[in-house]
Structure 1
Amino acid sequence: MTKYLAIVSLIFISQRAFSQSKSFTVKHISKPIIADGILDEPIWKVAEGATEFWEYFPIDSIQARQQSNIKMVYDDVYLYVGIKINTAGKNYRIQSLKRDFRAGNSDNITLLFDTFNDSNNAFIFGSNPYGVRREGLLSGGGRGNGAFNMSWDAKWVGDSKIYDNYYTSEFKIPLTSFKFKEGETKWRFNSYRFDTQSNETSTWVNIPQNQTIFDLGYMGTMIFEKPLGKSRTPLAIIPYINTISQKDFETNDKINNIKFGGDAKIAIGNSMNLDITVNPDFSQVEVDDQVTNLTRFEVSLPEKRQFFIDNSDLFSSFGGRRDANPFFSRRIGIAKDTADNSIENKIIGGLRLSGKLNKNLRLGFMNLQTEEDIANEIPSNNNAMLALQQRVFSRSNIGLFLINRESIKNYDFLSKEDRYNRVIGIDYNMVSADNTWSGKYYIHKSFEPNTQGKDLSIGASLQYNSKNYNIFTDWVSIGDNFTSDLGFIRREDIVKGVLGMERIFWPNKGKIQMHSFTIFPEFIWSPTLDYINTDYNLTASWSATYNNQARVNAQITKSYTFLMNDFDPTNTDEATAIPGNIGYHYNSIDLQFRSDRRKLFAYILNTTVGEFFNGERYSFGTTMTMRFQPKVFLSLIANYDKISLPTPHPSADIWLISPKIDITFSKSIFWSTLVQYSNQRDNLGFNSRLQWRFAPLSDLFIVYNDNYFVNSFEPKNRSINLKLTYWLNI
C-alpha cells in the first residue's frame, strides 16, 4: 500500500491548477436594488456578467441553443443578481412552490460561488420561473450527488417574471450569507440551467459530460471592482416553543408538555461560524423514509436536522462513506433501549465551531451533551469531534480528526468497556485539477477500555474518469476490534477489494445519447478466519441514457455469502432461520427503467429475479410522480419482495407502500402528508405537516404523527405538535 500511495502522490504533486479563462467584473454601486424579478433598473444595462453558455446535455461541444445572461453588481451589504433566461415558450415545468426544490426535473437556474477559490466548497443559490428559491452547500469539489446539502438555509430575497419567450430573475443576497476572506477581490463562479422545453442542460463554463454538472474544477471568475470589506454578520437568535401531546398505546403513557429552547449563530470574522443549541427540538423535521432491508446489516439514513448541516462535510467526509465512516451525526440523539429498540435520547445542548482559519485550513469542532435515561439504561454522554482539513496542491487536502464519546459518570448498568470510545485518524483526499484522477487514503485507530490490537480501519481508493473510460478501485481493512460509537461501520473484521471498469460510448446519431458497459467485482475476506473469502459479488451491467432523458439499466450478479450466523431475511417471528457457518451461491438479474422526468407524470420501474441464499427472490418496485402545477405534487413508492425459502425456513411477501402529497398553497404555506406501510416493520405510519413561513426563516408548524400495527391495525403511538420558531437578528 505504501508503494501504491507514493506512486499516486507523485501524480498529484506535479498537477497544475485547471481553470478556464472566462471572467467578468462585478461593479460596485451605491443605490440599492429592489429584487422584484423585473430588470428595470438602469444598472442592469451596463452591468457585466456571465454570458455565452455551453450545452451540457444532450451534447457538450456546442453553444447552448437557449442562452442565459447573468449580471451582477454589489454594494457594501448585498450582492445583486439579474438574470435573463431565453426559452422556447411558457410551458414550464416546476415541482411546486416550495423552497429548496429538486432541480433536475424542472426549469431552473443555479449559481455556484466558490468564495475561497479552493475548488472544494461552494454556496448554491437558485430560482425557477415562478420565483421559488433554493439554496444549499456543495462540498467535496462537487464530485457526486452526495456532495449536495440542500438543508442549509440563508436569509435572502428574490423573484421572477415570466414573458413570452424568456423569463427574468432577480436576487438580493446579503454578503453575510457567504463566508470569504476580508479584502478578497475575486470568487470562482459557475452556473447551470435546466430547460425542459428544449430538453437542454447548459453551463456557463464548458463541462465535459463525464463530470458532474456542478464539478468545482470547472469554473470561471467574478472580479469585484473593489475589495470586499469586513463581514458585518449579525448575531442570530432562533428561539422556539413547542407544545406536544402524545400517547404510547403499548404502555398507555400520556405526555402533554411545553418545551422551550433555541439556537444561536455567531459569526467569528468573515470565515468562521459558532452555532450553539440549547434543548434542541427536531419535531418539525421530515420523518425518515422507511426501507425494506433484506441484508444482515444496518441501513444508513440521511441527516435532516438543521444543527448538523452547516459545514457537515468537515465532520462526515472521513473514511469510507459506505463501509467505514467514523462520524455519523445521527448517532447523537438516538440510542438503544433495554429491548434493543432505537429511541430518542434527548440532547441537552451543544455547540459547533466551523469554517476557515485561512485560505487553505478549515477547522471543525463539535460538542454535544445527551441526557441520561435510567429507565432504559442509557447513560448521559458527552459527544465531541475535532477536525482539521489542510488544502494541498490545487484541489487535494489532508484531514485530521479526533472523536470522543464518553459517559459523564459511572452507571451500575454500564460495563467498563462501554464507558468511552475514542477514534483518531488521518485522511488524504486527492483530486486532480480537472477531476480526471481522484482518490482517498486513510488510517483510523479506535480506543476503548480493555481493548488492544486489531483496532485499525485502513482504506485506499483511486478513480480514473475520462470521456470513454471510468476505472475505480477501492480497498478497505477494518479490524475486529475497531469501533466508532459515533460512526457508521457496517461490519468489522473485513478486508474488502473492489475493481470497477466502465466503457462509455457516445453515439453520433439515433435515440441513445450515451450507453456503457460495466464490470464490478467485489470481494471480502475475514482476517480472523484465516482470510477466507466470506463474500463476493461479480456484477456486469449495461446502461443507456436516451435523448429524451429516459434511462434503462440491465444487470447480472453472481453472489457468494458465507453466513457466520443464522439469518432470517424475512424478519418473521419465531421462524427457523437460514443456518449459519455455511456458504451460499446465488445469482440474480436486475432491470430498471426511468421515464422522461420532465413530464408531468414520471415513473421508475425496477425488478429483480433470481436465487437468494438457499431459495428464490422476486422483487418489483416503482416510484411514480404526478404534478398538478404549480401547487400539487403527488408521489408513490411501492416495493414488493417475494422471498421463497425451502421448508422449514420462512417465506414471505414483503410490502412497502408509501404515498405522499405535497400541497403548496403559496410560497409561504405548505402542507405535506406521508403515509408509510411496511409489513416487514409491522407499521402503518401517518405523518402530516403544515408549515407557515410567516417571516424569513421563521415558521409555525403543526405536525401530526400516527402509527399502527399492520396485522391487528391497533394503534402504537400518536402525537401532535404545535411549534413556533423565529429568526431574530441582533
Structure 2
Amino acid sequence: MKLLSWIFAAIAMLLSASLYAQQDYSLKHIQKPILLDGILDEPHWQQATFIDLAWEVEPVEGIAAKLKTHAWLYEDGENLYVAFKAYDDNPQDIRASIRDRDDLWNDDNVIIMIDTFNDERTGYQFYVNALGAQADARMTDYGSWQEDPSWDAIWDAKTHITDEGYTVEMVIPFTAFRFPLTQGNQTWGLSLYRNVPREVRYQYSNVKFDYDIKCSFCQFDKITGLKNAKPSKNLQLTPTLTASRNDVRDQNDDWQKQDDDIELGLDIRYGITSDAVLNATINPDFSQVEADAGQLDVNTTFALFYAEKRPFFLDGADTFETELFNFVHTRNIADPDVGAKITGKSGDHTYGVLYADDQQSAVILPGDQGSDFAVIKEDAQAAIASYQLDYGTRDNLGVLVTSRRSKNYYNNLASFDGATYLSEQDQISYQVAYSDTENTDELVSDFALDKQQTGHALSVKYERDTKAYDLVASYKQVDKDFRSDLGFITKAGYNKSLIGAGYQWYMPKGAAITDYWLNGDFDITYQQDGDRLEREVEIYAGLEAVYNINTEIGFLSREAKYISRYYDEKWGSLWFSGKPYGDLKFTFYGRVGERIDFRNAELGDSLYFNPGMSWDYNDHLQFKLEHTYSEMKLDDALSFRVNLTDFRVNMKFNMQSMLRLVVQYEVGKFGESPLAVINPISKERDFATQLIYSYKINAQTLFYLGYSGNGYAEDDEQHLKANERTFFTKFSYAWQL
C-alpha cells in the first residue's frame, strides 16, 4: 500500500506540473473591427481567443487569484484587439484618475505584454487604467528586467466602469511595434496582468510565475497565429513648429528682449521592414518642455545625472544600452542640426546606427575623486553603432562603437560585452572597452590633460538570484585616461571589487507584513597607482506591509580617501513609502551621520532628509510636493544648509487636455570659514516657475503653450528678483501614411 501511495503521489505531482506548465493559445483572426467605447457588446468578442488571469503574482506568488479577470484577443491583419473584464465585488474601491500618459502605475490597471520576436529577451507592454489613461514601455531582460517607459507608440483604448468592476477595449496597430515578417504563423510570448491596489497591492496574471527562475520572459505563455499580419512600411511624418521669446533683466533692472526664435522641423519615421526602422530629423526640435526634477548640486564632486526625454533619441534607445557601463547618454548631443538612425532586429541579430551633427560638444572629464565638465565650441559629428547576437537559451554577445569628432578634438570608443547563464538562477556578465581621445589645446591647459589619452575599462559580474536569496560578486576597472564622451562615465582611474548577499522571508497570505529582508555588501576600491581609495560595508533591513508600506533601514561604514587624507564616514538611513489612503501617498528618505565636507576637506556632521507627497484630490486634480534638506556642520559651525522645494500641480480637463504648474524654490546658507573663530554666513535664494498647457491627441500629435521664469536673491535681499523669463509654444502633428 505504501508503494502504491508513493506511485499515486508521484503521478499527482507530474500531473500538477503539467497542469501549470506554459500554456499555448491560438490567436483568432476575425475580419471585423469594434466600436471603441470600452463596452464589450460586439458579438465577435465571444469568438476571440479567451484567456483567464487565474494566478496571483503579488503579494503571494502562485496561488489562485482573489478576483476574476478575463481577457479576449483577436487580430484582423492590421490591428491587435484586446479586451479585459476586471471583476470587482466593490467597484467603489477602484482607484484611478484621469492622468497624463505614462503616469498610472499606482492605479487599478490592466496590461498586455508581448514578446513579438519570441526571443525571451525583449518585448512591449501596454497599460490602461480603469478610467482610460494609457501607458506603454519597452522591456528587456539581459540578466535583469528593465523597463523603458519613455518609448511611446500610437494606439488607443477606452474603458467602462460597471456594477461588476470595469471593462477595457484596446486597439493596437501592428505599426506600433516590430515583429518578424515570416511565412505562415508566428509565435509570440504573452503575459497579461491586472494590478489591484488596495490595502496591499495585488497583481494577477495568466502566467503562474516561479520566482526561483531568474527570467520572466521565458515563463510567458505562447500565442500562435498572425498568419495574415502584414505590417505596412509605416511611414510617419511629423512636422514641428516651435516658437519662443526670451527676456533677460539687465544691470539697470530693465527687461531686455532677446531675439524671437521660430523653428520649423520635420521628423521622419519609416519602417524599412517589419523589424527595422529609420528615424531621421531635419532642423530638429530637441527642446525639453517639462522641467527636470530638482536636484541638489551641493557637497558632491561628481556630475549629476539627468535622464533623456527627447523623442528622437528615445525611439529604439535600448538598442544602444549595455548592462555594465553607460557608454551612450544622448543628452551629451546638445544642439544638433540633423540626425538619423536605423534600429532593428532580425532573428538573433539586433543592430543600430545613429548619426548627428552637433553645434558643440559637452564633455564629462572623469577622475578618481570627482569629475569636471567642459564644452568644446566647435561643430562636431557624433556617431554610434551597436550590434548584439543572441545565442543559446538566453545568452548574448554585443559590440558597441561610439565616435565624436570636431576640428581639433575627437573621442573614439569600442566595447565588447556579453552575458552567459550558468543555470536558471546564475549569470555571468562582462564588458571590456577601449577609448582613444585627442583633446583641444584649451582642454589641455584648463584641466591639465595630456594631448592624447587612451585607456581601457573592464567589468565582470556574477549574480545568483532566487526567490529566497541572492548573491553578487563583481570587479570593475577603469583606467585614468579612459573617456566615454558620448556616455555618462564620471569616475576613472580606479578598480573596485564587491561581494554582497541578501535574504528575503515571505509571510502567509493575509498577514499584515507580507515580506521582509536583510541584505548587505562589502567593497574595496583602489586608485590606479595602488593606493586604497575606499573601503565600505553597508547593511540594510526592510519590510513590506499593508497600506502599501515599503520601508528599509540601513547602516554604512566607509573609510574614504579625499585628496591625500583618509576619513572614517558612518551614517544611518531610513526609507519609507506608504499609502494610508487610496489617493494619498507619502515617501521619506533620511540620512544622518558623519560624512566628508568636500568644500573644507574635513569630516563633518551631516543631516539629509527628503520627504515627498502625492495626492489625487479627485479624478482631475493632482498635487505633488517634494522637499530636500541637506546640512553640514564642522564642530557645530555651519558649513552649509540647503533647502529645495519642488511643487507640482496637474489639472487634467480630460484625457487630452492638461494644465501643469511647476514651482521650484531653493535657499542656501554657506559658512565661509566654519573652522575659524568668525564664520560669516552668505545666503542665496533661487526661484523657478513653469506653467504649461498641453493638448495631446497621441504621443506625437500635440500642442504646448507655456511660460517659465527664474529669479534669485543674494545675502540679505528681502525680495526675489526675476532675471529671466521665457514664453514658448510647440505644435506637432503625426501623419501615418
Normalized against structure 2, the TM-score is what?
0.85
**Is the CA contact 1:425–1:444 (under 8 Å) kept in the aligned structure 2?**
yes
1:309 aligns with 2:298: no
Is contact 1:673–1:688 with CA below 8 Å preserved after alignment?
yes
Report if the CA contact (8 A) 2:132-2:159 is conserved: yes
Matched, 1:439 2:443: no
RMSD value, Cα: 2.4
Residue 453 of structure 1 deviates from its aligned partner by: 7.8
Residue 540 of structure 1 and its aligned partner are, at CA, apart by 1.2
- Partner in structure 2 of residue 235 of structure 1: 235
Question: How does 1:48-59 map onto structure 2 within 5 Å?
Answer: 48-59=49-60
Q: Distance in 2 between matches of 1:319 and 1:265?
A: 30
Aligned counterpart, 1:725: 732
Q: Does the aligned pair in 2 maintain the 1:451–1:481 contact within 8 Å?
A: no
Give the whole-Å Cα distance in 2 for the aligned partners of 1:72 and 1:433: 34
- Number of matched pairs: 661
The 1-side partners of 2:626 and 2:711 are apart by: 19
Please tell me whether the aligned partners of residues 526 and 532 of structure 2 are also in contact (alpha carbons under 8 angstroms).
yes
Which residue pairs with 2:412 in the alignment?
Answer: 422
Q: Which residue of 1 aligns with 2:168?
A: 169
Map 1:608-687; keep pairs closer than 5 Å: 608-613=591-596, 614-646=603-635, 651-679=639-667, 683-687=686-690
Quick one: which amino acid aligns to residue 704 of structure 1?
A: Y
- Residue aligned with 1:233, SS: coil
| Aligned equivalent of 1:348, options 331, 337, 361 | 337
- CA deviation vs aligned residue, 1:549-586 (integer Å, no higher than 9, x gap): 2011111111121112xxxxxxxxxxxxxxxx211112
The 2-side partners of 1:652 and 1:327 are apart by: 35
Contact 1:550 1:593 in 2 (8 A): yes
Output the amino acid matched with 2:458. I
- Render the CA deviation track for 1:670-726: whole Å, top value 9, x for unaligned: 111111223358532112221112577311101211111243522232111111101
Residue 44 of structure 1: SS of its match in structure 2? helix
Paired position in structure 2 for 1:586: 569
1:688 aligns with 2:691: yes
The residue matched to 2:209 in structure 1 has which SS? coil
Tell me the equivalent position of 2:488: 488
Q: Which sections of structure 1, spanning at least 5 residues, go unmatched?
A: 1-18, 334-345, 411-418, 565-580
In structure 2, the CA distance between the partners of 1:597 and 1:487, relative to structure 1 (3 Å rule), is farther
Aligned-partner Cα distance in 1 for 2:648–2:423? 42
Q: Which amino acid aligns with 1:443?
A: V
Whole-angstrom distance in 1 between the partners of 2:143 and 2:153: 20
Q: Which moved more, 1:385-394 or 1:148-157?
A: 148-157
Per the alignment, residue 601 of structure 1 pairs with: 584
Q: Is the 1:110–1:127 contact (alpha carbons within 8 Å) kept by the matching residues of 2?
A: yes
- Mapping of residues 269-284 of structure 1, within 5 Å: 269-284=273-288
Change (3 A) 1:155 1:695: closer
Letter in 1 for 2:723: K
2:564 paired with 1:562? no
Change over 3 Å in CA distance of 1:461–1:384 after alignment to 2? same
Aligned to 1:388: 387
Picking from 360, 371, 387, the partner of 2:348 is 360
> How far, CA to CA, are the matches of 2:539 and 2:58 in structure 1?
26
Cα shift readout 1:519-552 (whole Å, capped 9, x = no counterpart): 2112211022xx1211122111111111442011
Determine the C-alpha separation between the residues in 2 that align with 1:633 and 1:516: 33
Q: Which residue does the alignment assign to 2:6?
A: none
- CA drift of 1:471 comes to 0.9
Q: Is the 8 A contact 1:396 1:432 kept in 2?
A: no
3-state SS of paired residue (1:448): strand
Residue pair 1:316, 1:328 contacting (<8 A) in 2 also: no
Q: Which moved more, 1:391-400 or 1:266-275?
A: 391-400
Q: State whether residues 266 and 281 of structure 2, in contact with CA within 8 Å, keep that contact through their aligned partners in structure 1.
A: yes
- Give the counterpart letter for 2:263 in structure 1: K
C-alpha separation in 2, matches of 1:460 and 1:678: 41
Change in 2 beyond 3 A, CA 1:60/1:432: farther
Percentage of pairs with the same residue: 22
Name the counterpart of 2:112.
111
**Equivalent residues of 1:95, 1:627 under 8 A apart:** yes
CA offset at residue 403 of structure 1? 0.5
Q: Deviations over 1:616-662 (max 9, x none)?
A: 01122201011123111111111111210249x86111111101111
Comparing 627-636 with 595-604, greater Cα deviation is found at 595-604
Q: For the Cα contact (< 8 Å) 1:394–1:432, is it kept in 2?
A: no
Cα separation, 2, equivalents of 1:625 and 1:524:
39
Distance 1:433 1:633 in 2: 46
CA contact (8 A) 1:699 1:726 kept: yes
How has the CA–CA distance of structure 1 residues 197 and 468 changed in structure 2, closer, same or farther, with 3 Å as cutoff?
A: closer
Residues 283 and 721, structure 1, Cα contact 8 Å, conserved in 2: no
Number of the residue aligned with 1:79: 80
1:474 CA drift (Å): 1.9
Q: Distance in 2 between matches of 1:628 and 1:717?
A: 33
- Measure the CA separation in 2 of the matches of 1:51 and 1:110: 13
Structure 1 stretch displaced more, 189-198 or 270-279:
189-198
Unpaired runs of at least 5, structure 2: 1-19, 363-374, 439-449, 597-602, 669-683
Which whole-Å CA distance do the structure 2 matches of 1:440 and 1:286 have between them? 36
Work out whether residues 198 and 547 of structure 2, in 8 Å CA contact, stay in contact via their aligned partners in 1: no
Deviations along 1:581-617, one digit per CA (max 9) or x if unpaired, are 2111121111122113772111012221111221101
Q: CA deviation at 1:50?
A: 2.1
Q: CA deviation at 1:233?
A: 3.2
Distance in 2, Cα, partners of 1:110 & 1:401: 33
Residue 595 of structure 1: SS of its match in structure 2?
strand
1:6 corresponds to which residue? none
| CA–CA separation in structure 1 for the residues paired with 2:288 and 2:193 | 32
- Deviation of 1:454 (Å): 6.1
Aligned equivalents of 2:537 and 2:227: distance in 1? 56
Question: Could you tell me whether the CA contact under 8 Å between 1:285 and 1:305 is conserved in 2?
Answer: no
Counterpart Cα distance in 2 of 1:284 and 1:725: 14
Task: Please report how far the alpha carbon of residue 240 of structure 1 lies from its aligned counterpart in structure 2 after TM superposition.
Answer: 0.9
Q: Name the CA distance, whole Å, in 2 between partners of 1:591 and 1:319.
A: 28
**Secondary structure in structure 1 of the residue aligned to 2:64:** coil
Q: Could you tell me which residue of structure 1 aligns to residue 372 of structure 2?
A: none
The secondary structure found in structure 2 opposite 1:43 is helix
Higher Rg of the two aligned structures: 2
* Pair 1:508 & 2:513 matched: no
